[in-house]
Chains A and B, each alone.
Chain A
């Protein structure tokens, strides 16, 4: 069961099947998809449906939790956040994307902070990690702001857009988070 979360400006609700058209629209933004690690782009025509169906199925299997980011009082999906669980090691990978029209207003820092708090207060993982292209300063600022630690930069560890790319790894531990 994915909980509703709220922040000062935003309401996070579980992803729904009717979000597919919005997902399709936002994943059509090259500013968004070119920053997604391991994601092919441009996405195919029915990507919205595929993405939503896949994430809903993984939520059913308790392998992931995906939230739609909305402005409170509206239902329109403007971004998503996902916790992908690795239960054997009791950790989760945090990933997210946001409609490029809304960048630079602190939305994702708010939303990611809420999801990180949920991950640790919910009590099911001891560590959350996240990966970003090293040159994606906007995303790294989000991870810095919500208190994740830059743990490593793995040089040329993926290949995207015809070149090898450095990946910055961030991590947060429940023990530290709850102590603060």
Chain B
């Protein structure tokens, strides 16, 4: 997998060297609260399994899974994935470590993944689900050029709770503006 670059970030395949960083970031309960199926409490073995899965899925080309790291310090700050579905649709998933939020990093990574999906994978539609209560995530997706399409009420189950999920999507078209091209 070819790493993707933005002005401040590199998106690349996770390796065993990232396990400690991923474990530390995902141990924060604020991430599990906004994800459907993240193990909680998060164990180091979960981070190992994540890296293994990311490598296998990416090799099998069923899914592209990246860690997001800063170019300045090569610090792993989050992860983003693009999961291909039928009809040239792919779904974006991501998480960002707590210390690195509100700095535009996620938007930057999402924009880059969208450009990659349309230009390199020939996708027609890229979509992302988010818990409806997670307005920050919706803002990120809209800033990255996606359009809000609605909310499926109580459509998913997390533990004993039914979760409403919002959906945003972008269709293949002119590339997003203000993007950094290396």
A residues in contact (CB < 8 Å) with B? 88-91, 126-127, 129, 149-159, 164, 169, 171, 173
Contacts and interface: CB of A to CB of B under 8 A. Distances in A.
Nearest to B148: A152
Interface residues on B, range: 20 to 34
B7 interface: no
Nearest to A152: B150
Interface of B: 86-89, 124-125, 127, 147, 149-157, 162, 167, 169, 171
Given A155-B171, A164-B87, A169 B125 contact: no
Contacts of B154: 91, 126-127, 171, 173
B157 A89 contact: yes
Nearest to B88: A159
Contacts of B155: 89, 91, 127, 129, 171
List the 9 closest A-B pairs by CB distance, nearest first: A152-B150, A89-B157, A159-B87, A152-B149, A151-B150, A127-B154, A156-B125, A171-B153, A154-B149
A158 B162 contact: no
B169 A88 contact: no
A151 B152 contact: yes
B125 A157 contact: yes
A171 B152 contact: yes
Nearest to B170: A155
Contacts of A156: 87, 124-125, 171
Given A154-B169, A157-B89, A164-B124, A90 B149 contact: no
A126 B125 CA distance: 30
B153 A151 contact: yes
A173 B149 contact: no
B87 A152 contact: no
A151 B125 contact: no
B162 A126 contact: yes
B153 to A, nearest CB: 5
Contacts of B153: 127, 149, 151, 171, 173
A152 B152 contact: yes
9 contacts: A90-B162, A126-B154, A149-B153, A150-B150, A157-B89, A158-B86, A159-B87, A171-B152, A171-B155
Nearest to B153: A171
Contacts of A169: 150, 152
Contact of B157 (A88, A150, A152, A153): A88
